[in-house]
Chains A and B, each alone.
Chain A
Amino acid sequence: MNAPADVQEKLRALLHQMALNSGSANGKEPKSMEEHKFWKTQPVVKHDEVVDEDGAIEPDVPLDQVRATPYPLPKEFEWSLVNVEDDKEIKELYELLTLNYVEDDDAMFRFDYSAEFLKWALLPPGWKKSWHIGVRVASNKKLVAFISGIPQDVRVHNNVKRMVEINFLCIHKKLRSKRLAPVLIKEVTRRTHLEGIFQAVYTAGVVLPKPMATCRYFHRSLNPKKLVETGFSQLGRNMTMARLIKLYKMQTQTNTPGLRPMEEKDVKAVSTLMNKYMSHFNLAPHFGEEDVRHWLITRPGVVWGYVVEDPETKEITDFFSFYSLPSTVINHTTHSTLNAAYCFYYAVQIPDEELSKIADVSEREAARDKAIKDRLTGLMQDALILARQNDFDVFNALNLMDNSLFIDDLKFGPGDGYLHFYLYNWRCREVESKKVGLVML
């Protein structure tokens, strides 16, 4: 007699579970089990949980009940805040990350955030020194692990919360057996609680409990030959290099009239434009003028910000930005670095008044997309041209915000990477990729 399929499935799951358990008895459990064990203790949504109402998972912790001292580390390590403003210390951080941070699945590329980039990323308005958390080897003071947080107002559906954006969690490759990641996460959580913040947002390429949104990477080749040579992309059997080059060839000059680098005087107009545009999304940052000034004005080698000024009315009608995140090409004879530009924030004007006349929600959304598609595609075409002018090899974008409106027309190709968005201590309904309006570095 055959058991029904669902019973068999449950049996298989049970056997799998038992195998993992017996593994844990001798202390040799797989790493995924270790991580799973840790996340089980944390206020995050569980994999099998369905959320229909948003809210905190745990109540806020009163200050007098927050643990006052750092969590204990294994004896040979010590906590050490990294002074990001100090040239020597930012260099130490740069070296830790450039040698030990995220790689692709085949270990061909590793992120190579520049020191200037790290300063930009870690010192936004309201930054806290106590959230730049390093771990050193006690005996020789070598920096071997890091985790950071920056404050950010984030709106999830209809709730605006002061959150901490967690980023740059990195542990020296050779010390990954030391299980430091959970302590780093707990320590940054404690330091966040000390500042009266109880929610965090973070992203990862891996699946943890539980993504509130999942986006896919898309890549627009700017220097196809180098991308093929480094293995970033591959030529189909009947595709010639000559045709590939022709396919991705671009104009050298931008097209949008009134396009110019963003300046200090544009901060107010860009803030208004951006927050209006962002209201469409269900996960979005709220940027004050200070934030706009910090994140969106061009910093050479780090971030590029452009606005469109109407030649007649002098009104700022649109803006876009992209940032530089190169990757080290691991063990390559002729290329050492892949220069990648990443699509950052942008905004176009939305004809709200006309759209509000459409009662049906899906019809209204379709009309909105139609109204902005051509304008946005033209702007991003210019972004690609500017990126090429600045010697970038590839322009990357996730399928978040309105990116899906231009990725096909502008010849982006799908990537093999996904980015999952997570919230800590905030249960929320899942968000479609096109309703994600938050870009994390």
Chain B
Amino acid sequence: MLQDRFNSAAAYMASPAAKKLSLPSSTKLALYADYKLATEGLCTQPRPSLLEFEKSAKWKAWKETGERYVKELSNDAKNTTSSTTSTNNSNHHQLKDTPQLTLPIKAMISYVQRVEEGQWGWHFDSTVEASQSSTTGDHDLDELEAYLGVDKDELSAEELLARPYVPTQGEIPGAAMTASGISTLAFTTDSEETGNDPMESSKSGSLEGLQSALRANPDLVSFRDDMGFTMLHWACDRGSLDKVRALVETYHADVNAQDAEGATPLHCASLSGWPDIIEYLKSLPNVDQTIRDNSGMIADECLED
């Protein structure tokens, strides 16, 4: 139960071990305020003399934290009561009367969280320290209720559902924790591939990228890499009809160029199985469909099934 955890944390913070921690005064004041709010409620004492620095600071922390919590609690209450009331439907099990968070519980939660997150050496052992008064048998129900109760989201579920989805920055797929993220093939870049590749724009990227590369250096259209591939071979292999058309129609690429293995652009398109490119190339008057590669095959015999 929360009360047990709070008692245990408070006892620890009063122990000699905790006294040695030399915590910053802001942390001590925050703990003090939560402790007072949890055990005595809001501050009703008169303001101490301003010359009593320590007393003043404590009084201020207690007073102001209390006021802030009250405000937050009333905002939460407004949010929950203004949400749509449901029609009763016997098919769906429904829970009513979600318990409201109270000031002492809110302060206790805050106190326990501070002590937990400070990692000052406090550990709670529920089997030893749980009080006999625990009635629900559920030690963290209070915290769970509070966890839900302090939702600052002012939009109702219906309003949220009606809005377009905008992923939040750095959203962790925590709402789907039980499955793996989908794995895709890891891409390892070859270390020797990092240099400038004059053919790059024919392999990947946009049509505009190819056009600007060729405007900058029109000779690229007849350049051959170490496989004997021209840009047109690459565009036919990778399957970009737009690039094939531009290379043929604007830059007059050689449609019958043969690579080191004797393959023409039509062979490439056939091997990769791009029907739209095959059809386009075959429609060109100067394409020679009878060219055989070094293994003796014409393009049609290479068709990917």
* Interface positions of A (Cβ within 8 A of B): 17, 20-21, 24-25, 27, 30-32, 34-35, 37-38, 40-41, 61, 65-67, 69-81, 100-111, 136-142, 144-145, 147, 166-183, 186, 202-206, 208, 217, 219, 221, 225, 227, 229, 231-238, 240-242, 245-246, 327, 396, 413-419
Contact = CB atoms under 8 A, between A and B. Distances in A.
A37 B153 CA distance: 19
Given A102-B182, A208-B177, A78 B239 contact: no
Contacts of B177: 169, 181, 202, 204, 206, 208
B145 interface: yes
Contacts of A41: 140, 143
Contact of A242 (B80, B87, B272): B272
A141 B148 CA distance: 20
Interface string B58-77: 00000000000000000000
Contact of A137 (B85, B158, B172, B227): B158
Given A182-B144, A242-B237, A76 B156 contact: yes
B19 interface: no
A170 B173 CA distance: 10
A203 B200 contact: no
Contacts of A80: 91-93
Nearest to B159: A174
A245 B238 contact: no
18 contacts: A17-B117, A17-B119, A65-B137, A67-B137, A75-B80, A102-B181, A104-B183, A106-B184, A107-B167, A232-B185, A236-B189, A238-B193, A240-B227, A240-B229, A242-B272, A327-B182, A416-B183, A417-B182
Given A168-B179, A219-B185, A413-B185, 13 more contacts: A103-B182, A104-B184, A107-B167, A109-B184, A136-B92, A144-B157, A170-B175, A178-B157, A181-B175, A227-B185, A241-B238, A413-B186, A417-B182
B116 A205 contact: no
A124 B158 CA distance: 35
Contacts of B161: 137, 142, 144, 172, 174-175
Contact of A203 (B170, B179, B186, B197): B179
Interface string B133-173: 00011101101110110111100111011010101101111
B183 A219 contact: yes
Contacts of A74: 80, 98, 148, 151
B50 interface: no
Given A71-B141, A142-B161, A327-B182, A78 B86 contact: yes
Nearest to B233: A240
A32 B171 CA distance: 9
B121 interface: no
B223 to A, nearest CB: 15
A177 B272 CA distance: 46
B84, B118, B181: most-surrounded residue (chain A CB, <10 A): B181
Contacts of B203: 235, 237
B290 interface: no
Query: Which of A17, A138, A417 lies at the interface centre, i.e. has the most chain B CB atoms within 10 A of its CB?
Result: A138
Contacts of A208: 177
A416 B185 contact: yes
- Report, nearest first, the 7 A-B pairs whose CB atoms are least far apart: A417-B183, A138-B86, A205-B181, A415-B183, A217-B183, A242-B271, A171-B175
B83 interface: yes
B208 interface: no
Contact of A40 (B80, B116, B144, B181): B116
Contacts of A75: 80, 83, 98
A229 to B, nearest CB: 8
Contacts of A147: 178
A139 B158 contact: yes
B52 interface: no
Contacts of A34: 174
A176 B174 contact: yes
Interface string B215-247: 000000000010101000010011100000000
Nearest to A36: B117
User: DSSP majority for the A interface?
Assistant: mixed
Given A72-B99, A174-B161, A416 B92 contact: no
Contact of B181 (A32, A103, A138, A232): A103
Contacts, number: 263
B143 to A, nearest CB: 7
Given A70-B95, A141-B89, A225 B272 contact: yes
A242 B98 CA distance: 63
B176 interface: yes
Nearest to A139: B84
A31 B171 contact: yes
Interface string B183-208: 11111011001000100100100000
Given A21-B118, A173-B165, A225-B272, A27 B181 contact: no
Given A102-B179, A237-B203, A415 B184 contact: yes
Contacts of A245: 271-273, 304
B268 interface: yes
A145 B51 CA distance: 57
Nearest to A414: B186
Contacts of B87: 139
B281 to A, nearest CB: 15
Contacts of A77: 157
B153 A177 contact: yes
B173 A72 contact: no
A170 B177 CA distance: 8
B237 A102 contact: no
A203 B230 CA distance: 48
A40 B113 CA distance: 11
Nearest to A65: B137
B158 A206 contact: no
Contacts of A111: 179, 182
Most-contacted residue by chain B among A40, A71, A176, A206 (CB, 10 A):
A176
B88 to A, nearest CB: 10
Nearest to B304: A245
Contacts of A20: 117
A150 to B, nearest CB: 12
B254 to A, nearest CB: 18
Most buried by A among B89, B183, B187, B268: B183
Contacts of A242: 237, 268, 271-272
Contacts of B15: none
A67 B138 contact: yes
Contacts of B239: 225, 229, 241
Interface in B237-282: 237-239, 268, 271-273
